[in-house]
Amino acid sequence: RTTMVVARHHKQLSELASDLRERGVAFSHGGTSIAGTARARAVYNHRLLEQGRTLPIRDAISLATFTASDRLKALRTTARDIPDLHIDANALKKEAGIDVTCGWKDNLVKSDWDHKRNEQLEAIINESGWEALIELPKIDLTTYHACKGREADHVVLFTDCYISAYR
Of the candidates 15, 44, 60, 61, the residue with the CA atom closest to the CA atom of residue 131: 44
Distance of CA 164 to the CA centre of its chain: 29
pLDDT tens column, 6-29: 988 888 888 888 888 888 999 998
Pick the more confident residue, 116 or 3: 3
Q: Which amino acid is at 131?
A: E
Residue 160 burial class via C-beta count within 10 angstroms: exposed 0-12, middle 13-18, buried 19 and up: exposed
Q: Tell me the pLDDT tens digit for each residue of 124-145.
A: 999 999 999 998 888 999 988 8
151 CB-near residues (< 8 Å, 6+ apart): none
pTM of the model: 0.79
Instruction: Out of 91-105, 108-122, 128-142, pick the least confident.
Output: 108-122
